[in-house]
Structure 1
């Protein structure tokens, strides 16, 4: 974006860092103005997502060039003060030129999430853990130690909720106004369809001892098998009105009949029962 001459005014909350010298990398801190020095060297600035920073320039600015307006926007209220807005996670360059086309300052701007809130929640809900949160290309990296695997899972869950909430706010549309006039304001539009999906990288170490209780039951099984094969003899008959009968048990004394056969001689009959038994116990 190129802005020249009298640039639109804007009222914004200052949120940023103090830059001293060249090639100094700042961090997202409490609200304060950022002063830059007149230099052709690139100066690094870190800005929180959906946050703003006020930049005080060493001389009057006539042109401002933002390499990627989708990541950040720059507007001015005076010739020596510009406002930077972090619109989406990413990096971009901002160049400020003077009245004769000379470069006043070059900024290397990185817009990322402010993870201080996530660290506060982790300390609150997991007080015995020592977890450090870092950002790597808008992905959350969890390092440190926890007591149990459950604590590690809870830390990942908190990080997931944190980045999901951040993604839900990247689709904002707002308008800033100068002197209370909406017609002279600047539109800042962040479409929802351009949201990013962040990943959680779990590098936590578990320092607690994992205890596993096993209940073992030992049973002794004794099995004996006895097989039996025997024959029962049954005889019966009658003579002159007198009946008689005889029964012979099988030779082993155990079992019951499996099948039988018989034959008859005169008025006498002889039957045989074949026993076969298998016993297990």
Structure 2
């Protein structure tokens, strides 16, 4: 069976074995589900162990560990290869073509974790040259615009969003972990996605991007707008992608460069309190 999904106005497809039960667990994708379409940016085919290619000559290029969730990326059989692990156990393996338009996925353990990571990685790579970026960020909407909060794990992105939700009337959560930013004909927009980390917020919504705020912890509250070069440096660490792949890197650089020049990017040094949320919202809404 083949399912179609549209995220940030990009469509992709997922092929599942007829007997697969994983579709019953993929409720987070329902808001993004569409009927059959002719053009997709990528197709991910889930197969059984007997159909998945024998993996040989593995070269590891990246090993990313985030709170027990691990992505191993490299090459195998002359193709891009990924392994997704949870607490040291393999959840899924994936082989793709070099253009990231076709993927073969083997779900091993924790199938929902495996398919989520496989689709998220494919989406980030397939859209990198389409003025689109998958961010590690928490994002809220306020007065018709979307505002993104960036920072290292543990900085307080979700906490700051929750402070807006609690103290800034009219705020709504768009996504709490992996929103998508895309440059459209009239500027940058931020979109909800089926990937939202530990917070189940899977909204198929779209807002003009009103600003980006890089967070850092401090014993005081202070905010300043970053100049384009510093803004570029603030954006890069929060965007998913294989930067050692020339095509991916060039596409992301183009998007990051345009964002840094067109979108207001701020640095907020802050406490996890109401005053920080109010300072942030009042400042960036006056800009």
Q: How does the TM-score come out when normalised to structure 2?
A: 0.22
Q: Larger % of helix: which?
A: 2
Q: How does the TM-score come out when normalised to structure 1?
A: 0.23
| Rg (Cα) greater in structure | 1
Q: Which has the higher contact order (CA 8 A, sep 6+)?
A: 2
